[in-house]
Amino acid sequence: MPSFKKYNLDKQSVEVPGTRKPGASGKFDSHYRHAAYGDALVANIREAPHIETLYDMWQNSVTKYGGNDFLGHRPFNTVAQTYGGYTWETYRQINQRVNAFGSGIMHLNEVILGNRQLNRWSLGIWSHGRPEWFITEMSCNCYNLVSVALYDTLGPDAVEYIVNHAEIEIVVASANHIASLLENAEKLPKLKAIVSMDALHDTVPVPGATSAAQVLRAWGAQKGIKVYDFNEIESLGAEFPRKHLPPTADEVASICYTSGTTGQPKGAMLTHRNFVATVGTNREGMLLTEDDVLISFLPLAHIMGRVIDTCSMYSGGKIGYFRGDILLLLEDVAELRPTFFPAVPRLLNRIYAKLVASTIEAPGLVGALARRGVAAKMANLAAGKGVNHALWDRLLFNKVKMALGGRVQVILTGSAPIAKEVLSFLRIAFGCVVLEGYGSTEGMATATITMADEYIPGHIGCPRAGCELKLVDVPAMNYRSTDQPFPRGEIWIRGDTVFKGYFKDEKNTSETIDAEGWLATGDIGFVDKRGCFTIIDRKKNIFKLAQGEYIAPEKIENILGARCNLVQQIYVHGDSLESTLVGVLIPEPETFLPFANAITGASVTAGDLEGLNKLCQDPKVKNAVLKELEKAGKAGAMRGFEFVKRVHLTTDAFSVDNGMMTPTFKVRRPQVAEHFREQITAMYEEIHASTPAAKL
pLDDT digits (tens, 9 = 90+) for 24-72: 344 556 899 999 999 999 999 999 999 999 999 999 999 999 999 999 9
Dump pLDDT digits (tens) for 277-327: 999 999 998 999 999 999 999 999 889 999 999 999 999 999 999 999 988
CB–CB of 425/457 below 8 Å?
no
Q: Is the dihedral of CA 36, 38, 44, 48 positive or negative?
A: negative
Sign of CA dihedral 685, 686, 690, 695: negative
Is a pLDDT exceeding 60 seen at residue 692?
no
d(CA 448, CA 452): 13
Range name among 96-110, 217-231, 366-380, 550-564 with the lowest pLDDT average: 550-564
How would residue 571 be classed by pLDDT, with cut points 50, 70 and 90? very high
Could you say which DSSP state residue 513 is in? B
**In angstroms, how far is CA 243 from the centroid of its own chain?**
35
How far is C-alpha 234 from the chain's CA centre?
31
pLDDT at residue 23 is higher than 50: no
Between CA 198 and CA 189 the distance in angstroms is 24
Q: Mind giving me the DSSP string for 642-661?
A: GSEEEEEE-S----TTTTSB
Q: Which of 205, 220, 206, 214 lies closest to 173 in space, CA to CA?
A: 220
pLDDT of residue 155 exceeding 80, the answer is no
Q: Is 66 exposed, middle or buried (0-12, 13-18, 19+ CB in 10 A)?
A: middle
Higher pLDDT, 540 or 441: 441
Closest to 286 measured CA to CA, from 412, 444, 430: 412
Going by their DSSP bridges, the two strands 410-413 and 340-343 should be labelled as parallel
Cβ 99 vs Cβ 91: under 8 Å: no
Give the E-state strand segments of 322-419 in sequence order: 340-343, 410-413
Contact 310, 317 (CB under 8 A): no
637 CB-contact burial (10 Å; exposed 0-12 / middle 13-18 / buried 19+)? exposed
Length of the chain: 696
From residue 410, alpha-carbon distances to 131, 309, 396, 452, 650 in Å are 23, 15, 20, 9, 36
pLDDT at 467 over 50: yes
Contact 615, 604 (CB under 8 A): yes
Average pLDDT over residues 499-519: 95
pLDDT band at 502 (very low <50, low <70, confident <90, very high): very high
CA 580 centroid distance within chain: 32
The answer on pLDDT for 374 being more than 50 is: yes
Q: How far is CA 488 from CA 30, 482, 534, in A?
A: 11, 7, 10
How many Cα neighbours within 13 Å face the side chain of 527? 29
pLDDT for res 696? 30
> Residue 267: phi, psi to the nearest 5?
-95, 105
Distances (CA, A) of 175 to 198, 217, 328: 6, 12, 20
At residue 506, the pLDDT reads 94
DSSP state of 232: H
Q: CA-CA distance, 240 to 253, in Å (whole number)?
A: 24
User: From the centroid of its chain, how far is CA 110?
Assistant: 36
| Confidence check: pLDDT of 209 > 70 | no
Reply yes or no on whether the pLDDT at 146 is more than 50: yes
As a whole number of angstroms, the distance between CA 598 and CA 618 comes to 13
* Cα 196 off chain centre by: 26
For residues 72 and 321, is the Cβ–Cβ distance under 8 A? yes
Average pLDDT of the residues in 231-237: 97
Mean pLDDT, range 372-385, rounded to an integer? 93
Q: What are phi and psi of 91, to 5 degrees?
A: -60, -40
Q: Bigger pLDDT: 451 or 327?
A: 451
3-class DSSP state for residue 73?
A: strand
**Averaged pLDDT, 401-417:** 91
Identify the residue with better confidence: 223 or 209.
Answer: 223
Which amino acid would we find at residue 654? Answer: F
* Residue 479: pLDDT band with limits 50, 70, 90: confident
User: What does the pLDDT average to over 170-193?
Assistant: 95
**Spatial separation of the C-alpha atoms in residues 536 and 522, rounded to whole Å:** 11
Distance separating alpha carbons of residues 308 and 552, to the nearest angstrom:
30
Q: How far is C-alpha 371 from the chain's CA centre? A: 32
The pLDDT of residue 695 is 35
DSSP string of 664-688? TS-B-HHHHHHHTHHHHHHHHHHHH
When mean pLDDT is compared across 151-160, 199-208, 299-308, the lowest value belongs to 199-208
- Asked if 258 and 666 count as a contact pair (C-beta separation under 8 A), the reply is no
- The pLDDT of 234-244, averaged and rounded, is 97
The yes-or-no verdict on residue 331 having pLDDT over 90 is yes
Q: How far apart are CA 76 and CA 332, in angstroms?
A: 13
> Closest by alpha carbon to 89, among 59, 69, 74, 62?
69
User: Which of 39-53, 471-485, 598-612 tops mean pLDDT?
Assistant: 39-53
Q: Please confirm whether the linkage preceding 247 is cis (ω < 30° from 0).
A: no
Cα Rg of the chain, angstroms = 26
Give residues with Cβ within 8 angstroms of 104, minimum separation 6: 232, 233, 234, 235, 236, 237, 238, 240
Three-state secondary-structure class, residue 147: strand
Element (H, E) at 214: helix 212-223
User: Mean of the pLDDT values across residues 609-632?
Assistant: 95
Distance CA 625, CA 600 (A): 13
CA 27 from centroid of its chain's CA atoms: 34
Q: What is the predicted pLDDT for the residue at 539?
A: 79
**Position 546: which residue type?**
A
Q: In the beta sheet, which residues pair with residue 488?
A: 526
The predicted model scores a pTM of: 0.84
CA distances from 250 to 221, 270, 281, 290, 299 (A): 38, 9, 18, 29, 25
Given a contact cutoff of 8 angstroms between Cβ atoms, the answer to whether 301 and 268 are in contact is no
Which residue segments constitute the domains of the chain, with CATH numbers given?
Answer: 3-44+339-435+445-538 (2.30.38.10), 55-68+90-247+293-311 (3.40.50.980), 543-694 (3.30.300.30)
> CB atoms < 10 A from the CB of 475, how many?
10
Alpha-carbon distance of 200 to 365, in angstroms, equals: 56
pLDDT band at 664 (very low <50, low <70, confident <90, very high): low
Q: Given the DSSP bridges, would you call strands 122-126 and 146-150 parallel, antiparallel or unpaired?
A: parallel
Q: How far is CA 595 from CA 349, 374, 627, 635, in A?
A: 17, 23, 12, 20
| Other CB atoms within 10 A of residue 133 CB | 26
Segment 615-624 shows an average pLDDT of 96
